[in-house]
């Protein structure tokens, strides 16, 4: 039998071991620099902790956890104003308001942990189970009872390790897919992308670009982000508030903090019309992968200028031109992302309710609250 890993819970980046980034080198979202962004500008209803797993005194695994307090939200999303939304909100407040996530709820994909070759994935997961128990006890001392513990988002290839770590007593769920755009090696420029499109989608590209005439795209630096911070937040909040479902809202200083700490690895592009900021998008360089991040826009102008579609095309163009291998477009807006060439990757998670009786009905309730979204996958390529 393997010796259990020793677990340390950290509340601050300053406490992390010197060797932390040695394990985070392949994923910027586990690096000290990114974790400091969370420490300084996480959503107000999110409590972040960092987990170190040790074997014989050596750091062999790192992970991130987030506790979401949904009671602090005014709403979970305004788009579905109906009885189901009201029922869902009441349910979450009473039975699911404190959610402990092993992973990162602000991103899509496996950004939960990294580990060395000195341990196996299943060994790490057993350690994270123990870490979750430690965290629940920590929150209990602060008067917070964790209702649900969940581990997110994992591709199918990782499921075997969860089975080996005996997660069978957890509810295995699948949310909306992660939309991933693979960039062929032979593409060198945006023109290669355009030429790969079928006539229908090449015409869509041309129409979108024509609609955007008069809109100026600018790369914004830290001073620009600070100058336009109020407008940036208004544009972001408009999009976030109209999303299907929200568990947090970004802090107003989030984008400036990101730029201060991640510097050139964090890209911020503003879209201006007649000198006025009408939209923005953000990108994060993560090795050979480009991660799309939050965006915002003025909805009335967005429709006329096809701003969102043009942003997607701009993200593709930049990533091709700079030699990236893959773009993570995350979930939401699945069909339009599919229409520009992103493909769905199914993602899985595991969850368990702290109340044994509630846990019996968790699967049925989850399916009611978050029904599968029906959408049509597109293939824009020849």
Residues 14 and 150 in one domain: yes
Residues 361 and 340 in one domain: no
Number of independent structural domains in the chain:
2
Asked if the structure places residue 298 within a domain, the reply is: yes
Domain of 220 in residue numbering reads as: 179-345
Find out whether 50 and 35 touch, Cβ atoms under 8 Å. Answer: yes
Tell me the mean pLDDT in the region 38-58.
97
Asked if the structure places residue 380 within a domain, the reply is: no
Q: Is the pLDDT score of 364 beyond 50? A: yes
More confident residue, 90 or 125: 125
Q: Is the pLDDT score of 93 beyond 90? A: no
Asked if the structure places residue 113 within a domain, the reply is: yes
Task: Determine which of 81-95, 181-195, 220-234, 287-301 has the lowest per-residue pLDDT on average.
Answer: 81-95
Q: Report pTM.
A: 0.92
Question: Structure tokens of 183?
Answer: 């960039």
Tell me the mean pLDDT in the region 71-81.
58
Residues 25 and 153 in one domain: yes
Residues 322 and 296 in one domain: yes
Residues 109 and 214 in one domain: no
Asked if the structure places residue 1 within a domain, the reply is: no
Q: CA 153 to CA 52: how far, in whole Å?
A: 20
Asked if the structure places residue 381 within a domain, the reply is: no
Q: CA 146 to CA 95: how far, in whole Å?
A: 10
Q: CA 110 to CA 124: how far, in whole Å?
A: 14
Question: Structure tokens of 6?
Answer: 């020793």
Residues 62 and 187 in one domain: no
The per-residue pLDDT for 256 is 98
Half-sphere exposure for 247 (CA within 13 Å, toward CB) = 17
Tell me the mean pLDDT in the region 215-225.
98
Tell me the mean pLDDT in the region 293-299.
96
Task: Determine which of 4-8, 218-222, 336-340, 371-375 has the lowest per-residue pLDDT on average.
Answer: 371-375
Asked if the structure places residue 144 within a domain, the reply is: yes
Asked if the structure places residue 265 within a domain, the reply is: yes
Residues 76 and 200 in one domain: no
Q: CA 106 to CA 45: how far, in whole Å?
A: 12
Asked if the structure places residue 375 within a domain, the reply is: no
Residues 156 and 264 in one domain: no
Task: Determine which of 152-156, 241-245, 261-265 has the lowest per-residue pLDDT on average.
Answer: 241-245
Q: Place 48 in a pLDDT band, splitting at 50, 70 and 90.
A: very high
More confident residue, 374 or 244: 374
Tell me the mean pLDDT in the region 313-330.
98
Q: CA 124 to CA 151: how far, in whole Å?
A: 13
Residues 196 and 207 in one domain: yes
Q: Is the pLDDT score of 370 beyond 50? A: yes
Residues 167 and 297 in one domain: no
φ/ψ bin of 308: left (φ > 0), alpha (ψ from -120 to 50), beta (otherwise): alpha
Residues 166 and 189 in one domain: no
Residues 120 and 184 in one domain: no
Percentage of the chain exceeding pLDDT 70: 91
Half-sphere exposure for 217 (CA within 13 Å, toward CB) = 19
Q: Which residues pair with 217 in a beta bridge?
A: 271
The pLDDT mean for the chain works out to: 92
Q: Place 88 in a pLDDT band, splitting at 50, 70 and 90.
A: low
Contacts 24+ apart (CB under 8 A), 181-186: 181/316, 181/319, 181/326, 181/327, 181/329, 181/340, 181/341, 181/342, 181/343, 182/325, 182/326, 182/343, 183/319, 183/320, 183/324, 183/325, 183/326, 183/327
Residue 48 maps to which CATH number?
Answer: 3.40.630.30
Tell me the mean pLDDT in the region 74-81.
50
């Amino acid at each position: 039998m393997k010796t259990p890993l020793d677990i340390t819970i950290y509340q601050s980046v300053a406490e992390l071991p010197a060797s932390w980034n040695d394990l985070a080198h392949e994923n910027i979202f586990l690096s000290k620099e990114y974790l400091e962004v969370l420490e300084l500008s996480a959503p107000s209803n999110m409590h972040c902790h960092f987990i170190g797993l040790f074997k014989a005194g050596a750091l062999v695994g790192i992970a991130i956890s987030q506790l979401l307090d949904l009671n602090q939200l005014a709403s979970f999303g305004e788009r579905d104003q109906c009885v189901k939304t009201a029922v869902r909100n009441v349910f979450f407040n009473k039975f699911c308001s404190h959610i402990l996530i092993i992973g990162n709820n602000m991103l899509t994909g496996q950004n939960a942990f990294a580990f060395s070759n000195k341990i196996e994935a299943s060994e790490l997961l057993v350690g994270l189970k123990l870490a979750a128990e430690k965290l629940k006890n920590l929150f209990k001392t602060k008067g917070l009872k964790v209702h649900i513990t969940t581990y997110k988002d994992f591709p199918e290839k990782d499921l075997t390790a969860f089975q080996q770590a005996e997660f069978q007593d957890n509810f295995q769920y699948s949310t909306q897919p992660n939309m991933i755009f693979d960039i062929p090696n032979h593409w060198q420029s945006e023109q290669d992308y355009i030429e790969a499109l079928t006539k229908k989608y090449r015409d869509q590209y041309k129409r979108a670009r024509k609609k955007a005439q008069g809109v100026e795209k600018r790369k914004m630096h830290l001073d620009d982000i600070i100058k336009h911070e109020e407008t940036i937040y208004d544009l972001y909040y408009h999009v976030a508030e109209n999303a299907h479902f929200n568990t947090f809202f970004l802090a107003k200083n989030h984008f400036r903090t990101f730029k201060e700490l991640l510097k050139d690895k964090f890209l911020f592009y503003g879209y201006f019309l007649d000198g006025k900021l009408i939209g923005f998008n953000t990108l994060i360089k993560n090795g050979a992968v480009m991660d799309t991040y939050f965006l915002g826009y003025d909805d009335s102008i967005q429709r006329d200028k096809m701003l969102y579609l043009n942003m997607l095309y701009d993200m593709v163009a930049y990533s091709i031109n700079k030699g990236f291998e893959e773009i993570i477009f995350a979930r939401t807006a699945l069909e339009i992302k599919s229409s520009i060439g992103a493909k769905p990757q199914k993602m899985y998670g595991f969850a368990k309710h702290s109340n044994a009786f509630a846990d019996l009905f968790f699967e049925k309730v989850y399916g009611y609250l978050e029904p599968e979204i029906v959408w049509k996958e597109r293939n824009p390529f020849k």
